[in-house]
Amino acid sequence: MDYLPNLLMPPAVLSVGGLTGYIQSLLEQDEQLVQVWLTGEVSSANRYRSGLFFTLRDPDEEATLQCVVWSASLEKLVVVPEPGEQVIVLGRIRLYPQRGQYQLAVWQVLSAGEGLRALRYQQMRDRLAAEGVFDPERKRPIPVHPQAIGVVTSPQAAAWGDIQRTLKSRYPGLRVLFSPSLVQGDRAPESIAQALAWLEADGRAEAIILARGGGASEDLACFNDERVVRAIATCRIPIVSGIGHQRDETLADLAADCCAHTPTAAATVAVPCLEDLQALHFERRARLFARVESRAVESQKALQRLETRLQRIHPERRVQQELSAISSYRHRLLQAASYRLRSQQQHQQFLQEKLATLDPRAVLRRGYAIARTLDGTIARKATDLSRDQTFSLQLGDGSVRAKVLDLSED
C-alpha cells in the first residue's frame, strides 16, 4: 500500500485570476515600470486597426518583449518601427489577465544611435533650462568698444586664423588674448573650461570668443557637455560663441551671451568695424552741420518777421495803447471797489437795525420786566414761583428784589 506524504496545506488557495491580479498590481504600480526607456531590435511588426504590434528583441541576451502602439499614438511617433531597425522606445508595462502575458504600451519611438544622442541632448537642455542657465535675463551685452578680446579655440584650427584676420581688419590696434584649448574629443570639455577660467583670472579681456570650425555633429559633442555649459554660464566676462554650424544649436550657444554661426561671424559681433565707425562719424557730422545751418536759416527768417512787425507798430504808439488800456482797467477797478464798498455798508446798516429790534433791553425799556429766581432761572408763569418766595425783577434800567404776596394764574 502506498502512502501519500503529509502535505502542509496553505491557509488559502489562490485562483488563477487572483494570482494574475496580484502580479498585475506588482508590475503596473512599480515606479521603475510606469515610465521606462528600452532599446532593442525590431524583429516583427504588424499593423491593425487598433494599433501597431511589434516585437522588440535583445540580440545579446536572446530576450524578446511584446510591444504595442495604439492608433491614437501612432501620429506622435518620431520613427515608425520596422523589422530589423535598432530603436529606443518609451512606454509602460501592462499585463493582460486574459492571456497571462505582459507587454509594453509604447508612447514614443526613436532611432538608436542618433536618436539616443538627441534624447540625451534634449534631457540635458530641459534640465539646464529649468535651472535658468539659458534665461535671456542673465545674458550680458557685448562691450561696444573693447580694448582687449579673449579667444578660446584650437591653435591648429582654421578658426583661429579667420578670427585674427577679421579682428585685425575690423578693429586695428585691438589686444587679442589667446587661450588655446582642444575643441574635439573626450578631453575637450575640460580643456575649454580651463581656457575660459584662465581668461577670467587674467582679467584683461572685456569679451571672449569661443570658436570652432565646422564639423559633423559628433565632432561638436564637447560643446554639449555640461562642464562647458556651466563654465560659460558662470564666467563673469561676456562670451560670443562661433561654433561653426548652422543646422543645430549646441548648449554652449544657448548659454553664451551672444551666438554667431561661424568664427568669422563671432569676431564680427565682438568688435565694431573701424571703417563703419568712421563713415558713421562723417555722416553724423554732416547731419549736424546741416541741422545747424537749417536752424540758422530759420532763426534769420524769424528775425526778419520780428523786424517787419516792429516797423508796422511804432514802439511809442504801442506804449500809448498799453497806457490807455491800463487807465481803463484802473477806472473799472475803482468803480467795482466803490460799488462793493457801498453794498457792504448798506448790508451792515441793515444788520444793525435788525439787531436793535431783537435786543431784549429795548423790550424792557418799553415797560416790560423779567422775573428771575435767586438762582437766575427765568419765571415764565405764576406757578414757577411760590408764596413768600423772594425773586428779582430786571427792568429797562436796573433791577429790584421783590417777594411774592399772592399768586394768580389769570
Q: Please tell me the distance from the alpha carbon of residue 200 to that of residue 214, in angstroms, as a whole number.
A: 26
Q: Please tell me the distance from the alpha carbon of residue 340 to that of residue 331, in angstroms, as a whole number.
A: 14
Find out whether 269 and 142 touch, Cβ atoms under 8 Å: yes
For 262-280, the pLDDT digits (tens) are 899 999 999 988 888 888 8
The single-letter DSSP state of residue 378 is B
Which pLDDT does position 248 carry in this prediction? 61
Query: Virtual CA dihedral for 333, 338, 343, 349, nearest 10 degrees?
Result: 150
For 53, the grid coordinates are 504590434
Average pLDDT, the chain: 85
Whether 152 shows a pLDDT value over 80: the answer reads: yes
pLDDT confidence band for 247 (50 / 70 / 90): low
Strands, E assignment, 128-234 = 148-153, 175-180, 207-211
Find out whether 370 and 378 touch, Cβ atoms under 8 Å: yes
Whether 57 shows a pLDDT value over 80: the answer reads: yes
Find out whether 178 and 160 touch, Cβ atoms under 8 Å: yes
Across 145-149, 319-323, 374-378, the highest mean pLDDT is recorded for: 145-149
Q: Please tell me the distance from the alpha carbon of residue 286 to that of residue 135, in angstroms, as a whole number.
A: 42
Whether 202 shows a pLDDT value over 50: the answer reads: yes
Helices 263-270 and 158-170 pack at an angle, to 10 degrees, of 30
> H helices of 203-273, where?
226-234, 251-255, 263-270
Of 3 and 365, the one with more pLDDT: 365
pLDDT confidence band for 1 (50 / 70 / 90): very low
The mean pLDDT of 360-369, rounded to a whole number, is 76
Which pLDDT does position 8 carry in this prediction? 53
Which pLDDT does position 258 carry in this prediction? 93
Looking up cell 584650437 gives 154
For 300-346, the pLDDT digits (tens) are 999 988 888 777 767 777 788 888 999 999 999 999 999 999 999 99
Which pLDDT does position 6 carry in this prediction? 52
Show the CA angle centred on residue 191, arms to residues 190 and 192, nearest 5°.
90
The mean pLDDT of 181-188, rounded to a whole number, is 90
Which pLDDT does position 4 carry in this prediction? 46
- Count how many residues are written for the chain: 410
The mean pLDDT of 394-404, rounded to a whole number, is 83
DSSP 3-state assignment of 340?
Answer: helix
The mean pLDDT of 164-190, rounded to a whole number, is 92
Q: Please tell me the distance from the alpha carbon of residue 39 to that of residue 114, in angstroms, as a whole number.
A: 13
Which pLDDT does position 3 carry in this prediction? 44
Which pLDDT does position 141 carry in this prediction? 92
